[in-house]
Amino acid sequence: MKRIVIGISGASGAILGIELLKAFQNLNDWETHLVISDTGEFTITEETSCTPEEVRSLADHVYSSDDLAAAISSGTFKTEGMVIVPCSMKTAAGIASGYSDNLLLRAADVTLKEGRKLILVARESPLSLIHLKNLELLAQCGAVILPPVVSFYTKPQTIQDIIDQIVGRVLNSLGIDSSLLKRWTPDE
């Protein structure tokens, strides 16, 4: 089984993390390891019709954000990488500064130090220079900065269309083909 760590932080867009977990449930060869920050639990409750408990039930393994002794806290625990979706600017700042005072940050720190794939669905608007500098440093360190932006060229009709395209892009970045992603196919 391939392992993927999924972090849900307190940026707007909790539904994106939920839908990514659902997408992984359809992938038999992948195992999900979930950590939700305290504010992530709050945004799940505020923005969606799910409870944090229901979201946790979508994952194969769940960890408390204050459990710094969890498996995903160690580089010896092999994974294919980590997706933080959505990723707040506070979490981006924590990773960029190496300030790993919760499990979500520590798992991201480990992902980078082990040279594994780290995808940040970084969400804030507008972005300050501090946000941009942190994201620049993270990109220089190898993280994929994948903001949850709308692909207007796909002519989305519903919010679900927009969500599917973003989740499809995350999967694509992990090398996973998915029908969720509408690829650009110019007329010949």
Contact assessment for residue 143 and residue 136, using Cβ atoms and an 8 Å cutoff:
no
DSSP SS3 for 126: coil
Binding mask 121-140 for ligand FMN (x = CB under 6 A): --xx----------------
> Given its phi and psi angles, is residue 103 left (phi above 0), alpha (psi -120 to 50 degrees) or beta?
alpha
Looking up tokens 């939920």, which residue turns up? 18
- The region of 6-14, 25-33, 48-56, 109-117 touching ligand FMN under the rule CB under 6 A is 6-14
Rounded least distance, CB 127 to ligand FMN, Å: 9
- The region of 7-15, 23-31, 52-60, 158-166 touching ligand FMN under the rule CB under 6 A is 7-15
| Residue 134 CB-density burial (10 A; 0-12 exposed, 13-18 middle, 19+ buried) | buried
DSSP SS3 for 25: helix
Specify the residue, 6 or 176, whose C-beta has the smaller distance to ligand FMN.
6
- The region of 20-28, 40-48, 152-160, 174-182 touching ligand FMN under the rule CB under 6 A is 40-48
Among 32, 43, 79, 134, binds ligand FMN (CB under 6 A): 43
For the record, the structure tokens of 49 come out as: 């019709």
What residues line the site for ligand FMN (CB under 6 A)? 9-12, 37, 39-40, 42-43, 46, 88-91, 123-124
